[in-house]
Structure 1
Amino acid sequence: MRFRITSASKVFLEFNFTSSSVTNFGNELLVEYTVGKLELVKDESRMYSEVWVRVPLKRLASYAVLNIYMPTLVLLVVDYFTLFFRPSIFDVRMMAALTVQLVIATLFSQVSASLPKTSYFKMVDVWLIFCIGITFLTIIFHVLVDACLYSEPKDAVVVVSLKSFGDSTKKRKSGRGEGGSFCSSKPGDRMVLWSKIIVAGVFVIFNLTYWIYILA
């Protein structure tokens, strides 16, 4: 805030800066900010006597944590748990992952609209972009797991075990069935395991770097 005496120049009238003070009688806690200590700043560079009231505002961390970080963190946990679904239910895994990504993208647009416009990336923008990126990585792994488990190699052979009414057990080999051959479970199991490790590793490495940079 700026106060100026316009009835006469500062040669005739000026603020008594030494005996002046400013006090905030309102609530210091706002919705997104907290009001700091007010201070007076004298300006002698102009024709008229002026004094500035500097009002420092500090953004509340609790607002961002409750409205941005906590909801996205819960969504990321749901997205990661889709990797533990049975690989056979591909539609359910993809639908859950795509729903999480859609919700995060909607939250990103709402947060960007409520924050001040800047030409640089804010830390909140970096966090939300990472959330969209890691959900996209999860979707890629779902596709890779499904492609590995249900691939149809030309020379695929399915081993079927037949147990008779007696004590003997017979095995016979058959070609590809009507629904497509099911490849060996070992590559599919390794892909599922590596998808869990990679997504969790990317999340941990990014969070360590992100929060160390913010809190340092």
Structure 2
Amino acid sequence: MPSSLLTKATLGTLGVGTVATGSIYLGKDLIVARNQKTKTSIEELIETVNPDKRFISRPGTSSHWRAVWSEYKKDNNVWNLAGLDTTTASSTEDAPQEFMDACDSKKEQEVLDKGDSLYSQVVKYCTRNTLVRDLINETEGKTLLTKGSDFATNQDWKTVWELYKQDNNGKNTDSWDIGSWSSNKDSSNVPDAFATKCGTKSEVEEYQLDQSNYLDVLKYCTKVG
């Protein structure tokens, strides 16, 4: 074979080898890329994985903070927080600033998935169960009515009260059983029992938007805005 042809053949073979080798390396890169998982902040992950949970808001005097602080102390200071007395557990002790700060810091850390131990810890020590009022607050265009001093004659309250009466018209007992229905059903002013029931039902644990716990409060206890 002429030397020029031999050289071309050799170079051609090397070229194929180079391409093949390059394909192998490219293949490995693709495999590695496919196996890599994207980390997500614990705060964002809880929104999708645990819609039944909400982060506890301050101050640390709330019953929710007291409960999780008590649990944290029972678990022997797993975050190694310095300068805190974690030897005794009490459900009436306010959560200290350092503990709440730790929750704020750790919820911003990123993890691969819910299997990470830190994720489980943040859920346990920094969250509470989702309530109806949380869902209402997250519903665009709706505001939960509050029982102010003028609730009985407040127009927003009277609007939902009239709706409630219409939906219970002709019944011996109303759906919420607010009491004294035979007389309350004819009242134009909002009964105290009705406004109180709105407050009570807004504190019920619920995270699904298709449940009556949420839908009833949305209908009878909110205003536009």
Q: Please indicate the TM-score interval, normalised by the length of the shorter structure.
A: under 0.3
For normalisation by structure 2, the TM-score amounts to 0.24
For normalisation by structure 1, the TM-score amounts to 0.25
Q: Say which one has the larger Rg.
A: 1
Instruction: Give the number of the structure with larger relative contact order, counting CA–CA contacts within 8 Å between residues 6 or more apart.
Output: 2
